[in-house]
Structure 1
Amino acid sequence: MFDVNNLKNCSLPSYDKSQLKAGILHIGIGAFHRAHQVCYIDKLLNLGDKEALKWGYISGTIRTNQKLINDLKENDCQYILSANSESGTTNSVIGALKDAYFAGEGHSDELIKYIATSDIKIITYTITEKGYFVDLSTQKLNLLDDEIIYDIENFNSPKTAIGITVAGLHARKQQNAGAITLLSCDNMPNNGAILKQAILDFAYKIDKELATWIEKNCTFPSSMVDRIVPAVTDETLDSIKKLVDMRDKSAISTEEFSQWVIEDDFANGRPSLEKVGVEFVGDIESFEKLKLTMLNGSHSLIAYLGAYAGLKTVDDVITNKEFYNFIKKYMLEVAAPLVEGLPKEVSTTDYADKLLHRFANPHLKHRTEQIAMDGSKKVPQRWLGSLEYLLDNSRNYDILAIGLAGWILFCGGNDENGNSLQVSDPLQEKYQGIYAQNSSTKDIVKGFLAIDSIFTEKLIKDNNLVDKVEFFIIEIKNNGVIKTLSKVGE
């Protein structure tokens, strides 16, 4: 356990943590949650807002091992956050996390119990796209998924976030604990609607009266979250230790920038987060599209093409002239024209410039292979809507075809220098099968573009798209990523 009073160069909470009560439950206690949602509550508490004392966080993890939870509990669920900018680093102890739980298989009871209590008025989620088990082509819960089947058959001991939530809401209904807000904080368009669909589809399989109660007593606002939070490594912890003169096993490193935009549709009150910069809006769609296409879409281009080029981190990629020009061209010519309905004060050109500046932050060391994870869930959200728009309007789609070429090459498991790449994806075995069963580039491309859980029927049938992606794969193999991009980014 670290003694906060012995920390150097580190700001401490100005509030009395012993007075903190839990009002928000979170599922998915990774680094992002602790660098984003918890930090906003912490900022509000540090303003001296006494009402904020009833909005502390209780957070649980259902996927990672128990080590993080143990590390947090050793420090009374306090941890050091190191925020990096070009002007320097600021360190602070975050105290807004009241408690943390491991809720993996066989350990979901605590979260279910808390969901059923009247003190908990909001549940937030960072469970990634795959944690919702929604088939994006039908926008319905995949009731044939083994984990969902397990949770329906073992409703009293669920394993998924969806199952745990519905079990908690069932107990909440029985205890007459009141209305509650379910707030998705994952990078998906209409994330609130997706969460609602998953919860209701599951609930209807359990009890129709429960589903009706949920529809009447729960709201599902969408949100847009933004903060770059690299995975924590030993190097991260060592760097923070040098700054504060003490090692914190649960410390995290992030950038200074942070943004949270939320639809203002809460069922049972909310903290006054507008005081610390959260934007509450009536319609979030334009903000979602801005981030998904310009930031997340760019990140995926950087991840697949950068990793295949042998570049390890985002700043390594974006400080390369050819990559910089290519990514900027994507932002301004592909992504920006698709974003409509933004407030007049929001400029896509300014947004692009700020993103490029953030990507170049040398302190973050955001790994390309980390961003490349779960491409089968991310590619449809980040690229394919834009691709269909370009095709429908007979516009040039070379940049996204190069992106798909980079993704397919990355999934082959080696970079252009023959070094192995870490491919982590639910469809990894399928990718390996496509490479094993096909020898020609065209057949490999056809295999990837025929995956109907990723691509729509319209894209699957587009032979011109196959030809173009094949062309760019051959270009990259013959000339390398950098030279290929230089022809497009001019």
Structure 2
Amino acid sequence: MKLTKDLLTESSTLQLPEKVLQFGTGVLLRGLCDYFIDKANKQGVFNGRIVVVKSTDSGGADAFAEQDNLYTLCVRGIDKGVPTEENIICSAISRVLSAQSQWNAILETAQSSAIQVVISNTTEVGLQYVEESIRQSPPASFPAKLTAWLYERFQARQSGVVIIPTELIVGNGDKLKEIVLKLCSFNQLPTNFVEWLEKENTFCNSLVDRIVPGKPKGDALNEIQHKLGYDDELLAVAETYRLWAIQGEEKVKDVLTFATVDEGVKIAKDIEQYRELKLRMLNGTHTLMCGMAFLSGFQTVKEALADEMTEKFITNLMMSEIAPAIPYKIDAKVAQRYGRDVLDRFRNPYLDHQWISITLQYTMKMQMRNIPLLVNYYKEFSTVPQYFTRGFAAYLLFMKATKEENGKYFGEKEGVYYPIQCDSAKYFYEVWQNPKTSEVVDTVLGNQQLWGTDLRKLKGFAENVTTHLSNMMAIGVREVASALNVYA
């Protein structure tokens, strides 16, 4: 049996007007943004459904049409230390239109007075300026599609909308507005439209944070669908934690009433706090731990958190070194609360987050996420961060490539090769030709092109990294981490 509206116990939300235009059908949008709207609709708050625009015609049967645009979101995770499971049939989507074959129908939605919000997630690649005519059917790029839609709305004498891109780019709302204005100039659109665009529409910067792995496979999927009692081609799994931070003021709050039904939606004048917390405490901890955890024999994040020693190491790294070093003023209680949420997310027994996948572009991540923390830690405390130095030493050891094949580099752990998927792999392969560990550390730390600064100037950092790296090579990564916990 397939999921259709006949399985709904309450179908009143299916009659709600279309208030949102959404570019993208991906699991992040469905598992986060659409989840919030669905939750509000069911509580009688937002009372509006979503018209979804997909970029291409899908081959074969369309799962959205076959399932009356319904899908199941299976929420799995740990909330305040307690395992949680919830299965939700989401009914927020009213219809899905193809930009390739239904462009006129998409433009017709611009004439609706009910539409108030535009959401997008077209990946970072989708948020780029492409010099093209908006009069194509359809325009190729997402910003050109949006510009065409907004111009149609202006000509229909409709009110402006709140536009919220969720692509993972800092200042995504500002970026999208900049591109739209450039397209207005290229297409020689009238001045009064540009004035309407700027005065009557609000482009919001936003930050999204929820792990949505999507549809499981094999036995895991069969088990879920057996419990549900129906098949669902659009089924998606999502973690419990959720955050959609939107930069805006009262006007935005008045429109986005769905924010009132879930604490995961944050509307604020400044969302930088949320970005810094995620970048440093979630992403930064991942980056400092991935090499160490992998070389210690752990395959997944949850495996590492199940180990008492490693859990203590990660907790101390995050709470005592990363949190107080965030280069942005954040209340200590807020940071500690966020840290506890992160640890719950790391422990999630339903997610198989591979450490090796987190090492992708290891050096770039270290530079962006962690080096500002290191520099600020020294500025604040003028001492060596002991957990950080061990994480950095493990990073250097992970980057020790011992084999090169067709331009690809591999490290070696207990006789087994692993891929080093980093743009700096060749550089480290050459640096590690030097057998002297102290000179390897000195060369890498002094590379200002990598780090933007000379890390050798940080008192005691090079010496500590060298000691830990030498010990890791001699007795093992896990043993070096364990020693710190013993004496901490």
Q: TM-score range by the shorter chain?
A: 0.7 to 0.9
Distance 1:299 1:435, change over 3 A: closer
Match of 1:440 in 2: 433
Match of 1:138 in 2: none
Distance 1:397 1:260 in 2: 32
Task: Give 1:234 shift.
Answer: 0.6
Alignment of 1:194-209 (within 5 A): 194-197=175-178, 199-200=180-181, 207=188, 209=191
The normalised TM-score by structure 2 is 0.74
Task: Give 1:41 shift.
Answer: 0.9
Deviation string, structure 1 residues 318-354 (Cα, Å, up to 9, x no partner): 222343223212321233222765579x543233223
Q: Does 1:99 align with 2:95?
A: yes
Distance 1:319 1:18, change over 3 A: same
Distance 2:292 2:104 in 1: 43
Aligned length in residues: 455
Q: Does the aligned pair in 1 maintain the 2:205–2:246 contact within 8 Å? A: yes
User: For residue 121 of structure 2, what is the amino acid of its counterpart?
Assistant: T
2:228 to 244, 262, 266: 244
Q: Does the aligned pair in 2 maintain the 1:292–1:382 contact within 8 Å? A: yes
User: For residue 224 of structure 2, what is the amino acid of its counterpart?
Assistant: I
Match of 1:223 in 2: 206
Q: Does the aligned pair in 2 maintain the 1:15–1:48 contact within 8 Å? A: no
Deviates more, 1:317-326 or 1:119-128: 119-128
Q: Which runs of 5+ in 2 are unaligned?
A: 400-407
Q: Does the aligned pair in 2 maintain the 1:322–1:482 contact within 8 Å? A: no
User: For residue 225 of structure 1, what is the amino acid of its counterpart?
Assistant: V
Match of 2:75 in 1: 83
Distance 1:445 1:174 in 2: 63
Match of 2:162 in 1: 181
Q: Does 1:152 align with 2:140?
A: no
Alignment of 1:1-400 (within 5 A): 2-4=2-4, 12=8, 14-49=10-45, 52-53=46-47, 55-60=48-53, 66=58, 70-85=62-77, 86-101=82-97, 109=103, 113=107, 116-118=110-112, 119-129=114-124, 131-132=126-127, 148=129, 151-153=130-132, 156=136, 158-186=139-167, 190-197=171-178, 199-200=180-181, 207=188, 209=191, 213-235=196-218, 236-265=220-249, 266=251, 269-277=255-263, 278-307=265-294, 309-337=296-324, 338=326, 346-369=333-356, 371-372=358-359, 382-390=369-377, 392-393=379-380, 394-396=382-384, 399-400=387-388
Deviating beyond 6 angstroms after TM superposition, the runs of 4 or more aligned structure 1 residues are: 441-452
Deviates more, 1:272-281 or 1:463-472: 463-472
Task: Give 1:313 shift.
Answer: 2.4
The normalised TM-score by structure 1 is 0.74
Task: Give 1:436 shift.
Answer: 6.5
User: For residue 10 of structure 2, what is the amino acid of its counterpart?
Assistant: S
Distance 1:412 1:195, change over 3 A: farther
Q: Does the aligned pair in 2 maintain the 1:223–1:261 contact within 8 Å? A: yes
Distance 1:468 1:33, change over 3 A: farther
Instruction: Give identity over the alignment, percent.
Output: 21
Task: Give 1:238 shift.
Answer: 2.7
Deviation string, structure 1 residues 369-419 (Cα, Å, up to 9, x no partner): 555556677555533432342355545356556556666736955563565
Q: Does the aligned pair in 1 maintain the 2:13–2:42 contact within 8 Å? A: no
Match of 1:143 in 2: none
